[in-house]
Amino acid sequence: MDMPKHSDEAKAHFRSLVTAAPGVEVKPMFGSLGAFVNGNMFAGLFGPNVGVKLDEAGLAELRAMPGSGPFGPEGRPMGGYLSLPADLTNADQSAWVDRARDHVATLPPKVKKPKK
């Protein structure tokens, strides 16, 4: 599986879309970045694409937008996530990221596995 290289510009853009909120952090992930709330990922960067995890209604709404699509490696997209259309304004992309954060914040916090 080919993992795309991420430019500093793409990483800075991704970070700019994530609004500060309790329990939210942006962390490196497999050479890329992921945004997490309470330990659960709600948005990620894969190549130039920003992907968000949404509920079924949100996924249906985003899927209907031209330019949205699967998120993750070709042939192995991440379930429950879609890529945002690249032509959305930064404000619109940030709104989708916030919506994903709000959805994922309703999930139980991720519990770290104890080290062996």
- Whether 110 maps to a domain, the answer reads no
Question: What distance in Å separates the CA atoms of residue 17 and residue 90, rounded to the nearest whole number?
Answer: 7
Q: Is residue 59 part of a domain?
A: yes
pLDDT for residue 32: 85
Q: Please compute the mean of the pLDDT values over residues 32-57 and round it to a whole number.
A: 94
Average pLDDT over residues 72-95: 91
Helices (H) and strands (E) in the chain, counts: 3, 6
Q: For residue range 9-26, what is the model confidence (pLDDT) as tens digits?
A: 989 999 999 999 999 999
Q: Which domain covers residue 79, as residue numbers?
A: 8-104
Q: For residues 57 and 64, is the Cβ–Cβ distance under 8 A?
A: no
Structural domains in the chain (count): 1
Residue at 89 is within a domain:
yes
Are the CB atoms for 44 and 51 separated by under 8 Å? yes
Distance in angstroms (rounded) separating the CA atoms of residues 70 and 55: 15
- Cβ 97 vs Cβ 18: under 8 Å: yes
